[in-house]
Amino acid sequence: MEITERYEHINLFDGLEELSIFHISDVHLWYSTAILGKLKTLIATHKPDLIALTGDYYDLPIGAHNFRKFLIEVSREYTIVFIKGNHDRLYGRRISNLLSGIPNCFDVEEYMYKYRSKKGFCYNITSWKNRVHLPCNSQEKNIVLIHNPEKIKTEELSNIQLILAGHLHGGQFIFFRTKDNSNFPACLLYKHCADRKQIMDTTLIVSRGLGDTFPFRFNCPKEIVKITVS
């Protein structure tokens, strides 16, 4: 399976920053670990500063065990922030908690992680659920992870500069992109079915994911998103 590398850029510090984020979402592991091997190769090649994961890592319990091994190995060299998706909760806490307690791997669902870049800039990273605890500080930037972007409330976006999301898989079938760069026909059902949107002062980046429970796609390649912050 080929993985498309999609590149996005966002200017948060007037070009003074040099931060690279790998955004990974919707792996949907069953038994095979082939995709994890390819991910490790991509990570080792690009050496991102930060890895952000936005949910749905497995469809079976064996996938949870395999994804835990992946996190343990990758987090030895790279900082990881993540939230869980709806599929990650299918088998209860005993399975979903396999992703917890890994050094240098931070579940930000109920927690705010403060990350300082090599250039000295500070980021507050948390979940949509926990966004009310984000500080308002002009010297720091706030990043929110959400699994399903359809849960975003536009009127509650103040003080959030960047949102990373997954869940929609790009619609899995893309016939064309509309004038506002939404994916048709899925955009008829999902208002945020697009690769990227600007909502007032907030940039929303949505990953098309790396796997599907029902593996049928058209013109919608599986991907990782490499985000450069400047």
Query: What does the pLDDT look like over 109-122, one tens digit per residue?
Result: 999 999 999 999 99
Q: What is the mean pLDDT of residues 210-229?
A: 94
pLDDT value at position 214? 87
Q: What CATH number does residue 80 fall under?
A: 3.60.21.10
What pLDDT, on the 0 to 100 scale, is given for residue 29? 96
Which pLDDT score, from 0 to 100, does residue 180 have? 87
Q: Which residue has the higher pLDDT, 1 or 138?
A: 138
Q: Are strands 223-229 and 4-10 parallel, antiparallel or unpaired?
A: parallel
Give percent of the chain with pLDDT exceeding 70.
100
Confidence of residue 1 (pLDDT cuts 50, 70, 90): low
The rounded mean pLDDT for the chain is 95
Q: Average pLDDT, stretch 25-42?
A: 96
- pLDDT tops 90 at residue 67: yes
pTM of the model: 0.96
Q: Which of 124, 97, 127 is nearest to 113 (CA)?
A: 124
- Helical (H) or strand (E) element with 5: strand 4-10
3-state secondary structure of 64: helix
- Digit-coded pLDDT (tens) for 148-203: 999 999 999 989 999 999 999 999 999 999 988 899 999 999 999 999 999 999 99
- Total domain count for the chain? 1
Contact 42, 4 (CB under 8 A): no
- β-bridge mates for residue 206, sequence order: 165
Three-class DSSP category at 46: helix
Q: Which structural domain range is residue 140 located in?
A: 4-229
| 76 pLDDT more than 90 | yes
Mean pLDDT confidence for 77-83: 98
Helices H, strands E: what count in the chain?
Answer: 3, 14
